[in-house]
Structure formats: structure tokens, C-alpha cells
Amino acid sequence: MMERSETTQITDDFVRTYQALGKDNLSILADLYHQNVVFEDPAHRVEGIEQLTQYFARLFQSVTHCEFQIHETITEGQVAYVQWTMLFSHPKIAKGQQRQVNGCSRLAFSDGKVIGHRDYFDMGEMIYEGVPLMGPIVRHIKASL
């Protein structure tokens, strides 16, 4: 069982890594993630550090800008939750203008590294609201619920 201070340290490392992460330093992921990591978000599931690194390489290749702002972290036992905002620009979404997506990550730890990473965020906010014809419809539906 991990000590609370170790969980807090890995969570702090996660925050520092994501605030520094970019297309030119993806190798830092191997310092944070367990080789058998499972990463999930609303659109993807990847297993293993190699697949995760490739996932981020594709992500950074397709965007013109991407950064993470971390707002809050909570640790409990071998689990942490991280509340964040991702600021990004994609040439095919919202005419390349910067967008923002709010989300939360659930992290699970093993052997001093992140072995489970699940992101929770609204795909409509991330993609669909930035598509010219679809955006107004999605925003209208969300407002009427």
C-alpha cells in the first residue's frame, strides 16, 4: 500500500508533467506512467506506455496549440483526482480559434507510477460545439436540458 505522501508526490509530478508537456518532450511520459498503463477518455482507450506516447504524439501533431491548467488535486489512498482545463487550437475546429475544455482525471498508482488514467470531459464542449453547423445545435440542446 502506498503512503499518502507518495501518492501526493506522484500527483504533484503529474501536474508538473502536464503543465510542461509538448510535442518535443513526450519522453517525460515514461517517468510518470507505468509501462502497463491503461489510459481512457471519452473517445480512446490505449494500453501501455508506448501506445500512450503514440497517442500524445498524434494529439500534438494535430493541434496548433495545447496546454493544461490544473486547478485542484485530491489524493486518497492509491487514487488521485485532478481538475483541469485544456486550452487548445485545432485547425479544423472553430476555424482554428483557441477552445477550452474543462475536465477531471482519475489516476490510479502502482509501483510509484500512474497505472490507470481516466479522463472525464464533455466531447460536445471539446469538438462538436466548434463545428460550424453542429455547434449552435449542440449548444441549444445543452441549454434546453
**Per residue in 38-61, pLDDT tens?**
999 998 999 999 999 999 999 889
Q: At 10, is the secondary structure helix, strand, or coil?
A: helix
**At residue 139, does pLDDT exceed 70?**
no
Which cell numbers hold the place of 32? 510518470
Distance of CA 20 to the CA centre of its chain: 13
Residue 3 has pLDDT above 70, yes or no: no
- pLDDT per residue as tens digits for the range 60-110: 898 888 899 999 999 999 999 999 998 988 787 667 788 888 999 999 999
Q: Which is more confidently placed, 132 or 102?
A: 102
Tell the CATH topology of 4-144: Nuclear Transport Factor 2; Chain: A, (3.10.450)
Whole-prediction pTM: 0.82
Burial of 109-132, coded b for 16+ CB within 10 Å and e otherwise, reads beeebbbbbebebeebbbbbbbee
